[in-house]
Structure formats: structure tokens, C-alpha cells
Amino acid sequence: MAIEKYRHPILFYGLSILVPWIFWFIAAYISHIEPSRNLYVILVSILGLIGLSSPLVIACVLILPDSYLRKDLLNRFFNFNTIRPFYIIVTCFLMITSILLAQAISLLFGYSTSQFALSGKSSFSAGIFPAWFLLFFAPILEELAWHSYGTDSLRKRFNLFTVSMIFAIFWAFWHFPLGFIKGYYQSNLVETGVIYSINFVVSLIPFVLLMNWLYYKTGRNIIVAIVFHISAGLFNELFSTHPMSKVIQTVLLLILTTVIVIKNRNFFFKLEYHEK
């Protein structure tokens, strides 16, 4: 089995949090020195991009020397023939459905219908990089790391539920320095309020479970993981969504994920993994 070849989770995850943290904490420090000066903005942007890209570089270093892993990686970009249309539909439309339903429910609590208007702008800045560009580019870089090497290296040792919980915790810590970079999404979230920061962390649990469910149900297809990740960020920025609606969305996704896990207990809790 190809998954048996992914043998270095500690090395991968250790470097994938250490290297970004170094660059991102430096970027955070600089972002509060002279945030309005072009040179500092450029420097913060470059440091941010290096940190974002580093897990992919680490994955490439671990994969590329091994011809078997190279072949396995390439195959996982083009294995669409065996994917059931149901999983493609879920990948593309689950997140927009959940945020629209969450906004509709929020109306019952007195929140405005203006949430359904297109925002026309992003809720964060990204230095010299357009925020909308990062909504597409960041998920691509991340999933080319997480689902090229990281997830499978854990799945070799743990059942899928445990893998997802480990990664959700890791991912929450991985984002931590971004909360200190002025203007970044996580930094703005911290300023919005504690409940919304907590919601971001909690939301990673159903998100990771759903993404890994789709990833393994589609024969470890990396494109599926990338599209699902993009849809989550894009659709949550597309509308003028009130932050409380994102809390409601998390509750909805938790309910949905619980149902999926219960209905697929063997899939999530069986230790052995068998290729499709």
C-alpha cells in the first residue's frame, strides 16, 4: 500500500510548525514597527508567504527523492474516474450551503438580511498580495502539503478520527502566529472578540473531519481537498456575513459531521487503511 511509504510524521509536522512560526513571528514583529511604510509591508508579505510555503517545501523534500511516492502523488491528481458524483457535489457546494443556511438561521435572532449581499471586499489584508488571491493561493499551497504527505503519514499509524483530531489541534497551533500580524485574518478575528477566535479553533474540527472524509472517500484525491478548502474561505468572504453567523455555521457543521461519523463508524475508527 502506498500509504505505508509515508514514514516521517514527526519530522514533517515538527518542521512544518517550526519553520512557519519563525518567519511569521518575525513578520508579526515588523508589522507593528512601521505598518504604513512600503518597505515593511513588502517584507511582512514576503515573510508571510515563505512561512505559508514552507510545509509544501518540506513535503517535496520528503517525497521527491522516492520514485514510488512521486508516482503516488502524481496519480492522486488524476484519479477522478472512480469518484462518485455525490462527493464532487459535496466538495463544491457544502460550504456555501452551510453559510447561507447559517445566515438564514441568524435572522431568527435579529441579525440583518444585509448579510446576503455580496461583500465586494475582503475582511482582511495581506500586504502586497490581494486578499482574494490568497483565498485561492493559500489553500493550494497548504493542501499540497497536508494532503500530499502530512495526512497519510498520520493515517499510517492512527484511525481517521484520531488523525483528524491530531491535525485539527496542530492546525490551530500552526495558525497561532498569524494572530499577531497586523491586518491578517486571524489578527482581525482576535480584535473582533474572544468568542469568534474560539469559534475559528472549534470550526477546524468539523472542517478537518469533513475534508478527510472527502479525501479518503475519493481515493486520496488532492484536488478534492484543495477545492473544498478554497470553497470554505471563498464563500465565507463572499457575503457580508455577520461573525455570529459563522458561529452558527460551525454548529451546523458539527451536527452534520457527527451524523457522518456515526453513519461511517467503521470508516472513521478502523485502524487499518485499505486502498480503494
Residue 35 pLDDT more than 60?
no
Q: What is the pLDDT of residue 1?
A: 64
82: phi then psi, degrees, rounded to nearest 5: -95, 5
Catalytic residues: 142, 175
Determine the 3-state secondary structure of 167 from DSSP: helix
pLDDT band at 207 (very low <50, low <70, confident <90, very high): very high
**Mean pLDDT along residues 155-175:** 96
The DSSP secondary structure of 27-86, one letter per residue, reads HHHHHTT-TTSHHHHHHHHHHHHHHHHHHHHHHHHHHTT-HHHHHHHHHTTS--TT--HH
Q: How do the domains of the chain map onto residue ranges?
A: 2-269
128 pLDDT above the threshold of 60: yes
Distances (CA, A) of 199 to 30, 128, 269: 28, 28, 26
User: Model confidence at 151, in pLDDT bands (50, 70, 90)?
Assistant: very high
User: What mean pLDDT is predicted for residues 198-207?
Assistant: 96
**What confidence tens digit (pLDDT) does each residue in 68-100 have?**
999 999 999 988 888 999 999 999 999 999 999
Q: Which of 6-10, 12-16, 68-72, 81-85 has the lowest mean pLDDT?
A: 81-85
Least confident segment among 32-41, 151-160, 250-259, 263-272: 32-41
- Over residues 255-276, the pLDDT tens digits come to 999 999 999 999 999 988 766 5
Largest pairwise CA distance in the chain: 58
According to the model, what pLDDT value does residue 191 have? 82
Separation CA 124–CA 244 (nearest Å): 17
- What is the distance between the alpha carbons of residues 11 and 171, in angstroms, rounded to a whole number? 16
Alpha helices of the chain — where are they, by DSSP H? 9-31, 38-63, 67-75, 85-106, 131-145, 151-155, 160-175, 185-192, 194-217, 222-238, 243-263, 265-269
Question: How many Å is the Cα radius of gyration of the chain?
Answer: 19
